[in-house]
Structure 1
Amino acid sequence: MNVTDPRRRIPRTDQLLALPEVVDAPLSDSAVRSIVAEAQAAARALEITPEAVVDRVRARVTAARATSMTPVINATGVVVHTNIGRAPLSPDAQRALIDAAGYADVEMDLRTGLRSTNRGLGAKSALLAACPGAEDALVVNNGAAALLLATTALAEGGEVIISRGELIEIGAGFRLPELIETADVRLHEIGATNRTHPADYERAAERERAKAILKVHPSNFRVEGFTAAVGTARLRPLADEKDLALIVDLGSGLLTHDPALPEEPDVAAEIAAGADVVIASGDKLLGGPQAGIVLGRSWAIQKLKKHPLARAVRTDKLRLAALEATLTGREAPVKQYLHADPAELKRRAEALAGSVGGVVVAHDGRVGGGGAPGFPLPGYAVELEEHLAARLRAGDPVVLPRVHQGTCLVDLRCVPPELDKTVAAAIARAEKEQS
């Protein structure tokens, strides 16, 4: 008795590539062929029937996206959430990204048709308008790059004086001392973890190789109790006397004082206090794209711009466009979320609980992103059963709640109000799947 091998019925590659869903898929040829080959391989291994190959290919290409990144609705209450991309861009910044995605006059003078030396001029002008105490500005690809460039350009071959209480570790295990010393710079540590005095800086400034003083805002932790530190204004006369550059790394990206964060230092205040350069991140409290922002005195910024390392850490047209739009456009979402009205958050939480169940509880949001550690943002959340968190993370759209003390907390602080019903529908689906 002859039995025909069922694998002979597996559709040919050209037949599968001709399916309308495959032809219209927003994927590269290699990505489409990979999906087709995977379905054919599953049929050959008898994991699916040959007749199921077409349906699998259709389903995969329909669900596939050109990027593996998944959009997330942030229901954690953490405004600058590092694990999900820190600051969400404003609609104006998103449009600027699209406009700059094609060809753009990033380094061309359209009047003359010649190459321009004004790369990033729009972002620079917007930064100086937002922080008028600064004489010049520079944008590089991130905060760590800005710090590396500043210490290299201003202290190359010499020592940078830093308090032991400011030798911090940033995200993913990167430590600032190790970052800085990858260049031809040595750190001279002074003081103790909890107390550093003016005399410590004065003694270090007498060293022959001393070239700069570095102040780092320990934004992701707080030391309390028996402490002492020396501010920028107190260090300015010493820097002048010993001809040292005074570098301040704030990290958090706050350009000017924000009453909602009374203890968070800002760039404008540090420049006014006498810093030569101040470093901040673009994708934290500023609410823009990832970028290292350097503002300060013209002579110092010019040294950074002329250093060969500046080319290696140069930022691209997309970030420049998004940063400018963040500064000149309407209020960024980060600012809105930081200043959210607790009464309005309670009203929205009650409406959500009324439609999906759960209990409305007081829930303090957090700044996140290494900013204002321990500083609460009063608000409310809907408390649900803990097991729903995993289903919400696996849903479409993804809703990311906070899991805390055996509960699932859905905080609407960082959720645009027009998505409240979307969140409610996602919770309802998760509850239905559980039942």
Structure 2
Amino acid sequence: MDPTDTGADTDVRRRIPRTDAVLRDPRLLQAALRLGTARVKSAVHRAQQRAREGAVPPDAVADTAVSLLPRSAGGLRPVINATGVLLHTNLGRAPLSAAARQAVQEAAGPTDVELDLRTGVRARRGRTALAALRAAVPAAEAAHVVNNGAAALVLAATALAAGREIVVSRGEMVEIGDGFRLPDLLVSTGARLREVGTTNRTTAGDYAEAVGPDTAFVLKVHPSNFRITGFTRAATVGELAPLGVPVVVDIGSGLLAPHPLLPEEPDARTQLTAGAALVTASGDKLLGGPQCGLLLGRQTLITTLSRHPLARALRVDKLTLAALEATLTGPGTPTGEALTAAPEPLRRRAERLAAVLGADGIDARAVASEAAVGGGGAPGVTLPSAALSLPGRYAAPLRTGPVPVVGHLEAGRCLLDLRTVPAEDDDRLAGAVRAVGGR
């Protein structure tokens, strides 16, 4: 016997329940169905170890094990986006609509994604989602979907321009995020870039002088994450369409038609009507759908792209197709609702939350704020909003709490912007703040 052991220590260890006994707790039995037996057993072992160390009493092992379990089998945690950035890349950009979430749930099992149930033979993959995309942009003769916006541009360059030239303005050689640069992306496909114009001014004549027998297409890229003002000039699609080669336009943000609040943001319908042969865009930005890359344009080009071997490597899964179709055909998206939210209701929500939390002794104030589109869309556009202002010390514990809330710091205060928080989440937001205030 270890002479350092005491009778009390031995008694505690004897009172720690056996693993099989703890696992019979109804809460843990239910959790095993949701998370798997191995993960639940691991939580029980950790709880037993805490009891051995005296951190919890032996009769609290089951409760401790339950508290150690994650909400789901996946590692991603749902958060409340109170940053005021509608399309926050670090938070997954566009939140899916209720219709899209339901569509994903229904598509999780076996589906007719490539089967014609009437004839029993193979059918075109994602045909209903593609039909919905075509219906949303009638100016496009055909459509194709890949796994993100960069992939759409890579597929176009690989299928149409490998070994040939792409003519592009120096002012549109952008970096798209996380260190990925457009020139590097395009050159990786085997295409050669023919740069024209200058950083701030590129005319239709600059493109015309560069176009030749080896030109595969002219590329226009919307500089969606920055603005150049002052002495500037950019050729329009209408000016480039008569050059005799296809004009490919990367609009970036996924706006399918003009939006009154975003007059400078390019949209697919306008670019195609002006003469673009192909438009590429992201699905998880202003469209408000899942991450995917959209290709819209001439039937001949879309056919070439969709039959290229790379298209198989870039194709989307059935869950993305389901979410995309529901986004296009269902009711409004959370992104659309946040974009068009009126400032006055936001102010009233902030005042109500401040009053409720103030009654609990929390230093909460309703303040005016400015939200942004984000996600590489509508640079320079600000949206008048309202926020809940809290002491700066709230920021970190709110992020790491049971209901993570992500805001931003401004002048030493933690601001929770309500433009990006659905009204139905106000009570959850207040509860998260109370949990921090009560520490």
Structure 1 match to 2:429 = 423
Structure 1 match to 2:269 = 268
Structure 1 match to 2:238 = 233
* 2:352 counterpart of 1:351: yes
Structure 1 match to 2:259 = 258
Structure 1 match to 2:73 = 66
Deviations 1:67-103 (A, max 9, x none): 1211111112211111111111111111100110111
Deviations 1:374-393 (A, max 9, x none): 10111222222111122221
* One-letter amino acid matched to 2:174: I
Deviation of 1:2 after TM superposition, in Å, equals 6.9
Deviation of 1:55 after TM superposition, in Å, equals 4.5
Change (3 A) 1:101 1:231: same
Give the 5 Å matches for 1:38-57. 38-39=46-47, 46=53, 51=58, 53-57=61-65
Change (3 A) 1:278 1:11: same
Structure 1 match to 2:385 = 379
**What SS class does the counterpart of residue 211 from structure 1 fall into?**
strand
Distance 2:316 2:208 in 1: 37
Change (3 A) 1:60 1:361: closer
Deviations 1:173-201 (A, max 9, x none): 11121122222212222222111122321
| Percent identity over paired residues | 52
Q: Is the 8 A contact 1:154 1:245 kept in 2?
A: no
Distance 1:258 1:289 in 2: 20
Structure 1 match to 2:113 = 106
* One-letter amino acid matched to 2:412: G
**What SS class does the counterpart of residue 383 from structure 1 fall into?**
strand
Give the 5 Å matches for 1:218-367. 218-238=223-243, 240=244, 244-357=245-358, 358-367=364-373
Deviation of 1:309 after TM superposition, in Å, equals 0.4
Structure 1 match to 2:96 = 89
Distance 1:351 1:18 in 2: 45
Deviation of 1:54 after TM superposition, in Å, equals 4.5
Distance 1:392 1:370 in 2: 26
Unaligned 5+ segments in structure 2 are: 359-363
Distance 2:162 2:392 in 1: 53
* 2:37 counterpart of 1:29: yes
**What SS class does the counterpart of residue 413 from structure 1 fall into?**
helix
Q: Is the 8 A contact 1:11 1:50 kept in 2?
A: no
Residues paired across the two proteins, number? 425
**What SS class does the counterpart of residue 364 from structure 1 fall into?**
strand
* One-letter amino acid matched to 1:174: F
Change (3 A) 1:58 1:398: closer
**What SS class does the counterpart of residue 83 from structure 1 fall into?**
helix
Q: Is the 8 A contact 1:81 1:368 kept in 2?
A: yes
* One-letter amino acid matched to 2:105: I
Deviates more, 1:402-411 or 1:272-281: 402-411
- What is the TM-score when the length of structure 1 is the normalising length? 0.92
**What SS class does the counterpart of residue 199 from structure 1 fall into?**
helix
Distance 1:47 1:403 in 2: 39
Structure 2 match to 1:119 = 125
Distance 1:136 1:317 in 2: 20
Structure 1 match to 2:221 = 216
* One-letter amino acid matched to 1:101: A
Deviations 1:157-216 (A, max 9, x none): 11111111111111221112112222221222222211112232122213x532111111
Structure 2 match to 1:204 = 210
* One-letter amino acid matched to 1:259: P
Deviates more, 1:409-418 or 1:22-31: 22-31
Distance 2:54 2:235 in 1: 68
Change (3 A) 1:2 1:198: closer
* One-letter amino acid matched to 1:327: L
Deviates more, 1:219-228 or 1:9-18: 9-18
* One-letter amino acid matched to 2:146: V
* One-letter amino acid matched to 1:145: A
* 2:411 counterpart of 1:410: no
Deviates more, 1:1-10 or 1:383-392: 1-10
Q: What's the C-alpha RMSD, in Å, of the aligned pairs?
A: 2.1
Deviates more, 1:30-39 or 1:420-429: 30-39
Unaligned 5+ segments in structure 1 are: none
**What SS class does the counterpart of residue 35 from structure 2 fall into?**
coil
Structure 2 match to 1:158 = 164
Distance 2:13 2:345 in 1: 63
Structure 1 match to 2:361 = none
Q: Is the 8 A contact 2:246 2:277 kept in 1?
A: yes
Change (3 A) 1:355 1:67: same
* One-letter amino acid matched to 2:313: A
Distance 1:390 1:376 in 2: 26
- What is the TM-score when the length of structure 2 is the normalising length? 0.91
Deviation of 1:30 after TM superposition, in Å, equals 3.1
Distance 1:258 1:403 in 2: 30
